[in-house]
Amino acid sequence: MKKEYETGYRIYILRLIKGYTREELSELVDITPKFLYEIEKGRKNFSVQTLIKLSNVLEVACDYILTGDEKFIKKENREFINEMFSITNKQ
């Protein structure tokens, strides 16, 4: 799997966990829903400013979004996030 897609996929999963529609999250981050879709699919890169906004809204460290390293998320959220990844990977 491409690194960009993994980053986008993490954003997608975090968006679902937080209960945001693509439109809601894109509004909070000040980007278009189409651009967010392209990010989630790994088709577009994004700026540091967008990364910081995503990190703040999704309540995870920028490092987690970029690397997927679980040490950058709260311990109590790790199991839930891992469960969400396993559910969506089965579909």
pLDDT tens-digit map of 34-54: 999 999 999 999 999 999 999
Contact 63, 72 (CB under 8 A): yes
Q: Residue 87's pLDDT is what?
A: 62
Low-confidence ranges of the chain (pLDDT < 70): 1-5, 72-82, 84-91
Radius of gyration of the chain (CA): 12
Query: Residue 29: which domain range?
Result: 3-90
State the total domains in the chain.
1
pTM listed for this prediction? 0.78
Torsion-angle region of residue 66: left (phi > 0), alpha (psi -120 to 50) or beta?
alpha
Q: How far apart are CA 37 and CA 33, in angstroms?
A: 6
Q: Say which CATH number the domain at 74 has.
A: 1.10.260.40
The maximal CA–CA distance of the chain, rounded, in angstroms, is 33
pLDDT at residue number 69: 80
